[in-house]
Amino acid sequence: MQSELIIKLLNGGERYGLLNQEFDPSSARIDFFCTTEQRSEILDLQEICFIKFLGKPDLADSFSEDEFFEDVTTLTGDRFHLRLKKSGKRVPEGFFGYPVEIDSDFKSIFFTSASLKKRSHDQPLGEVLSQQGLVEESAIDEALTEQQLLRSRRVGEILAEKAAVPQEIVDQAISNVTSNGQKKSKARVGDILIEAKLVTLQQVEEALNEQTSGKRKRIGLILIEKGLITEDQLLTALAQKFGLQVINLDETKISPEALRLIPREMIERMQVVPISLQDTELTVATATPTDPTISENLRFATNCQIKLVCARSTQIGEKIAMLFDKHDSVEDLIDELEDLDVVVDDEPEIDKINESDSKVINLVNKVLLDASNKGISDIHFEPGMGTQPLKIRYRKDGICYTVHKIAATYKAAVISRLKIISKLDIAEHRRPQSGKILLKQAGERIEYRIEITPTVGGQEDAVLRVLASSHIIPLDDLGFSAINLERFKALLHKPYGIILCVGPTGSGKTTSLHSALAEINTPDTKIWTAEDPVEITQEGLRQVQVHPKIGFNFEDALRSFLRADPDVIMIGEMRDPITAKTAIGASLTGHRVFSTLHTNNAPETVVRLIEMGMDPFNFADAMLGILAQRLARRLCNECKEPYHPKRAEYNDLVEAYGTEQFKEDGLPTFSKDLTLMKASGCEECDGQGYSGRIAVHELMVNSVEIKRAIKQNAGVEQITNLAREQGMRNLRMDGIQKIFLGLTDFPQINKVSA
């Protein structure tokens, strides 16, 4: 006879049916005949909350020593009181439970691992401790009695004890007041005793605090204070009661991704430590797993499913202090950083350098060199208010993180040192200043662009962009899809026209344009570039640094280039309508022009330029193509792990790409063999799971239809639809293609595309 069943889905829906074949949880799916839809169906367990196998409960051999009771609450809000078997087969996909009541409508129920909100053994903590042989039953009774006394203790009793006043006198004082009338009978006990000059206000406040804490005191803490159990024994018992794991925080590595999800203030207030993040499951350590608000508050704050583990409270406090309160001494930091000889190019002479100055000089040099050696893109020096420390933060692969905290006494000296070596005015503290720093190390020239910005409290922040690692990347290595690479290369060899690369600051626009120029950089081609600053140099290009402070801007450079016999012109950025009009004009007179613009996507760029005053007819004829791009974090090649995605995750990818387009482009269908890659963490990536970045592109190539739309002042949506019909795939689509190639993951694509 086929087993009847009810399947509750995680989305709240239900299925009714009969099993087609015996249910095996390890297969991660269930094959059944759906009676409401009259068809066979196969569901992944990842979509399911629980499966009820209907029938009369078998309670003949129940309530044996092999069984225990448990309360289970699912994410759908369903609650069950069940029997579980200690000797039952354990599988990672979930577990079976059995009814307690004879009139239950099911004989067994299977819960999937992803469905659980809360589960706990239906045993008091004292009983668990007693079963483990940790304490005698008499000690449990004594602790329960003390707990009851604490919860029923009156303020007057506490004050009598603290103020060393006989209880009879306290009772008499209260009686005297309450017998004087109804109005005074509403007075608080503390106020009555203060008025009787038996206690002070401070003693009353202390008594109220003690009364409040006594009412909240848990039996486990009482047993620890009596010396009957240790905190480790309590945690082990709580872990058994709530089905949690006990960990040693001293031997546990903290994931930076998990740490960034919970604000510092919440970590310190709730006394929790984020451990790791797997997909949307955040593992968090706590010493108080009995507190029901922890999971709820963290789930709300992080939008993740919370998995609690137990750790000692002392370890949690020490770990939080280590994560947030570490201040580096200058001496230790100098010793810690790599000791390499470095020279500041053209440094101003200073008559007197004392020992303190020498420390700061050494510190600044080593921090700058350390950042360059580690491939850091930006260094942030952030002085705190008052006595708060100076934070030094690095940005790598688009992520900013704190690396050092230096005592407040060195704040002014470090900023002054940065000003000196960048030849800025050390006496100016009210206005922003910009400059450059040049270091020489082992014959290599390292350049930094520095920006000093005044901040509140009379402080100054310094942000340095590291320019040393800039180099030419071949076009084939920029992460283009095959179709985009073919189409982009075809644009580069057109005889004239303008090609734009668009995106926010730091999205790799300059790198892409220099790679494009390297593709067409031949002896028979004259190429001029105007940049601010010149970050990448390459042989064969005539490169110009513009200087807006002296009146030499992009427009002036462009006009000069047009009189200098160019074939190809690159303008670092079209910052104003005059430069844009001149560049478009140059592209119509037989030149290839490259430039960048700060816009979000390719179709939007067309509309933005028209709104800036460009002539639609000229621009429609001049435009060859527009390349929009972003940089997403790349999965570390050393430690990324393959995994089979959940059906819901796959559906999210299909929906984000567009269902019809997904099928048309031939992306993978869902099957048990489908494999994606996820972040893991190793020494090579500092435990982050990501190393380097990969570009996602959106390439719009001009066509007769798009030209006609531009001349008719079409909107963004119309131009986007035309470009899609002719093969353009937006940033999000290109990113999803790279997810299926195992290069990155969906959270990273979500961060850089809409």
Q: pLDDT (tens digit, 9 = 90+) per residue, 389-442?
A: 888 998 888 888 888 888 888 888 899 999 999 889 998 988 999 888 888 777
Lowest mean pLDDT among 159-163, 374-378, 528-532, 612-616: 159-163
| 730 against 229, higher pLDDT | 730
Q: What was the pLDDT predicted at 239?
A: 63
Instruction: Count other C-beta atoms under 10 Å from residue 505's C-beta.
Output: 6
pLDDT in tens, 72-108: 888 887 888 887 876 666 677 888 888 877 777 888 9
Average pLDDT on 172-176 reads 59
Rounded distance between C-alpha atoms, residue 668 and residue 271, angstroms = 44
Rounded distance between C-alpha atoms, residue 275 and residue 249, angstroms = 9
Name the pLDDT band for 325 (thresholds 50, 70, 90): low
Average pLDDT on 605-628 reads 92
Name the pLDDT band for 58 (thresholds 50, 70, 90): confident
Q: What was the pLDDT predicted at 617?
A: 92
Name the pLDDT band for 125 (thresholds 50, 70, 90): very low
Three-class SS of 561-589:
HHCCCCCEEEECCCCCHHHHHHHHHHHCC
| 473 against 729, higher pLDDT | 729
Residue 130, class by beta-carbon neighbours within 10 Å (0-12 exposed, 13-18 middle, 19+ buried)?
A: middle
Rounded to 5 degrees, what are φ and ψ at 591? -115, 150
Rounded distance between C-alpha atoms, residue 619 and residue 443, angstroms = 47
Rounded distance between C-alpha atoms, residue 278 and residue 676, angstroms = 14
DSSP symbols for 296-341: HHHHHHH-SEEEEEE--HHHHHHHHHHHH---B-HHHHHHHS----
pLDDT in tens, 349-373: 544 444 456 778 888 888 888 888 8
Three-class secondary structure of residue 547 per DSSP:
strand
Instruction: Count other C-beta atoms under 10 Å from residue 486's C-beta.
Output: 10
Residue 642, class by beta-carbon neighbours within 10 Å (0-12 exposed, 13-18 middle, 19+ buried)?
A: exposed
Q: What was the pLDDT predicted at 612?
A: 87
How high does pLDDT run on average in the chain?
A: 79
Percent pLDDT > 70 in the chain is: 76
Instruction: Count other C-beta atoms under 10 Å from residue 717's C-beta.
Output: 9
Cβ atoms 578, 540 nearer than 8 A: no
Q: Name the residue among 155, 75, 58 with its Cα closest to residue 112.
A: 75
Q: What is the pTM of this model?
A: 0.57
Centroid of chain to Cα 668: 28
In this predicted structure, the answer to whether residue 188 has a pLDDT above a threshold of 90 is no
Instruction: Count other C-beta atoms under 10 Å from residue 61's C-beta.
Output: 8
CATH of 330-466, one of 3.30.565.10, 3.30.450.40, 3.30.450.90, 1.10.2020.10: 3.30.450.90
β-bridge partners, 497: 592
Give all strands (DSSP E) within 180-278, no chain letters. Answer: 272-278
Q: Domain 244-324's class?
A: alpha beta
The two structure tokens encoding residue 228:
């009957």
The two structure tokens encoding residue 400:
């900013």
In this predicted structure, the answer to whether residue 322 has a pLDDT above a threshold of 80 is no
Three-class secondary structure of residue 71 per DSSP:
strand
Q: What was the pLDDT predicted at 219?
A: 46
Angle at 443 between CA 438 and CA 447, to 5 degrees: 20
Cβ atoms 432, 454 nearer than 8 A: yes
Name the pLDDT band for 590 (thresholds 50, 70, 90): confident
pLDDT in tens, 708-724: 999 998 899 999 999 99
In this predicted structure, the answer to whether residue 619 has a pLDDT above a threshold of 70 is yes
Cβ atoms 267, 274 nearer than 8 A: yes
Average pLDDT on 653-675 reads 91
Q: Name the residue among 363, 273, 362 with its Cα closest to residue 320.
A: 273
Amino acid at 672: K
In this predicted structure, the answer to whether residue 129 has a pLDDT above a threshold of 60 is no
DSSP symbols for 95-158: EEEEESSTT-SEEEEEEEGGGEEEEEESS-HHHHHHHTTSS-HHHHHHHHHHHHHHHH--HHHH
The two structure tokens encoding residue 175:
């009686």
Average pLDDT on 309-318 reads 81
Cβ atoms 662, 732 nearer than 8 A: no
| 192 against 390, higher pLDDT | 390
Cβ atoms 109, 53 nearer than 8 A: yes
Rounded distance between C-alpha atoms, residue 224 and residue 287, angstroms = 14
Which CB contacts under 8 angstroms, 24+ apart, belong to 746-754? 746/649, 746/652, 746/653, 746/656, 748/632, 748/633, 748/690, 749/632, 749/696, 751/632, 752/630, 752/631, 752/632, 752/696, 753/630, 753/696
Centroid of chain to Cα 140: 45
- Domain borders along the chain are 4-121, 127-225, 244-324, 330-466, 475-633+693-729
Q: What was the pLDDT predicted at 225?
A: 53
Q: Name the residue among 39, 33, 36, 1 with its Cα closest to residue 19.
A: 33
Rounded distance between C-alpha atoms, residue 728 and residue 697, angstroms = 10
Average pLDDT on 449-477 reads 86
Lay out the sheet containing 281-286: strands in order across. 272-278, 281-286, 305-310
Name the pLDDT band for 695 (thresholds 50, 70, 90): very high
Name the pLDDT band for 222 (thresholds 50, 70, 90): very low
Which CATH superfamily does the domain covering 475-633+693-729 fall into? Answer: P-loop containing nucleotide triphosphate hydrolases (3.40.50.300)
Contacts of 257 (CB under 8 A, 6+ apart): 277, 679, 688, 689
Centroid of chain to Cα 522: 44
Alpha-carbon Rg for the chain in angstroms = 35
Cβ atoms 390, 402 nearer than 8 A: no
Distances (CA, A) of 129 to 70, 92, 245, 315, 391: 17, 28, 17, 22, 47
Q: What was the pLDDT predicted at 594?
A: 94
Average pLDDT on 179-189 reads 47
Distances (CA, A) of 702 to 175, 215, 409, 460, 515: 94, 74, 59, 47, 21
Name the pLDDT band for 343 (thresholds 50, 70, 90): low
Distance from the first to the final alpha carbon of the chain = 52
Rounded distance between C-alpha atoms, residue 486 and residue 488, angstroms = 6
- In a 13 Å sphere around the CA of 267, the CA atoms on its Cβ side amount to 22
Residue with tokens 């006494």: 409
Cβ atoms 587, 622 nearer than 8 A: yes
In this predicted structure, the answer to whether residue 271 has a pLDDT above a threshold of 70 is yes
